[in-house]
Structure 1
Amino acid sequence: MTPSAYSVHPTPVGDALIVMSDEGLVALQLIDGAPGDRLAELSVALGAVPDRDATAIGPVAAELDEYFAGRRRAFDVAIDWRLTRGFVREALQVVCRIPYGETASYGEVALGAGHPNAHRAVGSACARTPISLIVPVHRVVRSDGTIGEYGGHPGVKRYLLDLEAAAGE
C-alpha cells in the first residue's frame, strides 16, 4: 500500500475531499461539512488513514479550478483505480471517454463496457464512484435524455452540464 494524503478544496458545487496516493488520485468526493465520516470510510477502504497535506493535492486542485473557470476540458491527473474493481472499473473507464460537453446514456456506457444489458449496473457504478468530477459521471444521462440523479444532488449535475455547455459555445 502506498502512502496517501488528503485535503479539502473548495469548488463552486461544494467542498471536495481529495485523496492522493503515489499512483494518483484515489478519491474525489463532494462533501457537506467536515470530512470526518467520508475520510473514515476511505481510510477503511484504503487500509490506512491518509495524512492531511494540502500540497499533495495541489495539481488536482489547480486542474479543478481551471475546469470551473472554463479553461480546462480534460484532466491530466493520473487516476489510482484501487477502490474500484470489475464491471464498476470498466464502466467508469468508459465514462472517462465521454467528451467534454457531451453526454452518453447508461445503456451506451454499458455497451462501451461490453455488457449491453447492464444499464442499471452502470447507474450503480456512477453512484458509487470514489472519484467524481474528474471521472465525469455527470455526463451520464437517462436514455430519454433527462439528467437523473447525481448523488442525490441533481442541481449539481445540472450545474456541471451547463458549465460545460457554456464553455463549449
Structure 2
Amino acid sequence: MIYATLMDTDFGTLYLQADDCGLTQIRMATPADKPTSATSVFIAQAQSQLQAYLLGQRQTFELTLNPVGTDFQRSVWRELQRIPFGKTISYLELSKRLGNVKAIRAAASANGKNPILIVIPCHRVVGKEGALVGFSAGLHVKKALLAIESPAPQQSLF
C-alpha cells in the first residue's frame, strides 16, 4: 500500500510518501500530488521530526527509510546521511568518501536523484569553494535548509 500526505513549510509544500516498509519520498509537491485517506506511522513520524527540524529543535532523524534506487544511488544516499548537521562537503569530497574520485559525476547525479529530501541531506553537498549549486527543490530551498543548520550568531555581551 502507498500512503501520502502534504506538509506546508515556509519554503513550500512537501510531498511525503511511504509504503509498508518505510518512507519512500520527501520532495516538493506538485499540483498533481494528493494525500491518501489511509495513514502511515512512517509518515506521522516523518512529519513530527521534520516539524522539529524546521523549528531548529532537531538535528538528526530517526526514521525507517525505503528509498528506491540503484545500489550505487543507495550507497551515495547512505554516505549523505553521514554528513553531520551544520556541515557541508563538496561533490569531490563525496566521491572520495565513496572510494572513487573519478565517480564525481555519478555521485552528483545520484545526489540529485535523492528521493528523500532533508532526511537524506543532499542539501549539505556544495560546489567548489562552497558554491550553492544544483538542488532538485531549488536553490532557495537549499539556502533555507542550510540556514536552519547554521549556528546562530552570538550576541555580544557588551
Instruction: Find 1:129's aligned residue among 89, 94, 114.
Output: 114
Residues 1:140 and 2:138 aligned together: no
Instruction: Find 1:109's aligned residue among 91, 94, 97.
Output: 94
Determine the structure 2 residue equivalent to 1:76. Answer: 62
Determine the structure 2 residue equivalent to 1:33. Answer: 31
Matches within 5 A, 1:38-117: 51-54=36-39, 56=41, 57-81=43-67, 83-117=68-102
Determine the structure 2 residue equivalent to 1:41. Answer: none
Separation (CA, whole Å) in 2 of partners of 1:152 and 1:51: 23
Separation (CA, whole Å) in 1 of partners of 2:85 and 2:93: 16
Separation (CA, whole Å) in 1 of partners of 2:2 and 2:126: 33
Across the two proteins, how many residue pairs are aligned to each other? 153
Q: CA RMSD in A?
A: 2.0
Task: Report the Cα offset of residue 110 of structure 1.
Answer: 1.1
Distance 1:73 1:152, change over 3 A: closer
Separation (CA, whole Å) in 1 of partners of 2:20 and 2:153: 33
The ranges of structure 1 where at least 4 consecutive aligned residues each deviate by more than 6 angstroms after the TM superposition are: none
Q: Deviations over 1:85-116 (max 9, x none)?
A: 12111111101110000001111111112222
Q: 1:118 is paired with a residue of what secondary structure?
A: helix
Separation (CA, whole Å) in 1 of partners of 2:140 and 2:27: 16
Q: TM-score, normalised by structure 2?
A: 0.87
Matches within 5 A, 1:147-166: 147-151=132-136, 153-166=138-151
- Name which one, 1 or 2, has greater alpha-carbon Rg: 2
Range that drifts further, 26-35 or 96-105: 26-35
Q: 1:117 is paired with a residue of what secondary structure?
A: helix
Range that drifts further, 64-73 or 106-115: 106-115
Separation (CA, whole Å) in 1 of partners of 2:152 and 2:77: 24
Q: TM-score, normalised by structure 1?
A: 0.82
Separation (CA, whole Å) in 1 of partners of 2:16 and 2:36: 11
Quick one: which amino acid aligns to residue 86 of structure 1? D
Q: Which runs of 5+ in 1 are unaligned?
A: 37-49
Separation (CA, whole Å) in 2 of partners of 1:113 and 1:130: 19
